[in-house]
Copies of this chain bind each other. A is one copy, B any other.
Amino acid sequence: MKQTVRIAVTGAAGQIGYSLLFRIASGEMLGYDQPMELQLLEIPPAMDALRGVVMELEDCAFPLLEKIVATDAPESAFADVDLAILVGSRPRSPGMERKDLLEANGAIFTVQGKALNSCARKHVKVLVVGNPANTNCLIALSNAPDLDPSQFCAMTRLDHNRATAQLAQKVDCKVESIAGLAIWGNHSATMFPELGSATVDGTPALEVVDLQWYESEFIPSIQQRGAAILNARGLSSAASAANAAIEQMHDWYLGTADVTSMGIFSNGSYGISKEIVFSYPVVCDKAGVHVVEGREMDEFSRSKIAITERELLEERSAILHLI
């Protein structure tokens, strides 16, 4: 029997949390032989709803789920955790400026960064899902000086999956036929879903689709996909975001030979500023996350990357007092 893994999830009674917890507890994230304890964090007004979620988790009689903690105290939620998935964040309310949004989330992620620093296990891996994910991740890791920045990442796997699915649909192939695609930069409308090194059954993707579609349809559709879902459902993406979180943590924890996308504390690769959390093409193994180096970047790609880098530097300026 494997040793029990302790997993914290914040915003656990929210929409994404509700789609996420049952799949984690069933064994989908870490494997069907990995026992776990869930440590669930919510804000005080959501504690009743969270108790209902806990009852439903109990009602599934999941063999791998050994214990559930439900709390509104970050120190309890993060106590001795091996993994943390930070889903809860302050959504943008009507009329709210981006600066106010960053500030409101800054308050959450400074507290959580400090609590992770003092309470989590020293090898903890922290995945930030709550938006603005990259900058929330930057705030959290900056407030956890005893942890290595490489122990934090921001989720861009949903964008990666969306790009994979859209390309597969366009060229009418299976999703497994697609490799090497990458999301660069911020999980926002400036992100750059890049096909320059992507392949379809081994053939360069840009030999299979035309540049006009790539630049004028594909890129904007991935950038705006969240808004399109919101428009259709009347609610923002929850199940697909939860699915991406499961896949990103799965690959980070267990490793993957496939190129995927993760927002990581920049190491300066590809000339990106070292002070931000930036999504790169990566592979994961036991040693950690490795940026896929040496991809050819043309002028178009470099210009797209510069836009999203600039946005992240602006976000950083707005929360400089928090890091």
Contacts and interface: CB of A to CB of B under 8 A. Distances in A.
A45 to B, nearest CB: 12
A303 B234 CA distance: 49
A228 interface: yes
A18 to B, nearest CB: 6
A197 interface: no
Interface stretch (A36-44, A54-62, A85-93): A54-62
A225 interface: yes
B55 A232 contact: yes
Contacts of A57: 240
Copies of the polypeptide in the assembly: 2
B169 A240 contact: no
A234 B46 CA distance: 11
A229 interface: yes
A63 interface: yes
A51 interface: yes
A105 interface: no
Contact of A175 (B19, B49, B61, B238): B61
A237 interface: yes
B168 A53 contact: no
Interface of A: 18-19, 21-23, 26, 28, 48-49, 51-53, 55-63, 158, 161-162, 164-165, 168-169, 174-176, 225, 228-229, 231-235, 237-240, 242-244
27 contacts: A18-B19, A18-B238, A18-B239, A19-B19, A21-B239, A22-B239, A22-B243, A23-B26, A23-B28, A48-B233, A52-B232, A52-B233, A52-B234, A52-B235, A53-B233, A55-B225, A55-B228, A56-B233, A56-B237, A59-B225, A59-B229, A60-B165, A60-B239, A60-B240, A61-B161, A62-B175, A63-B175
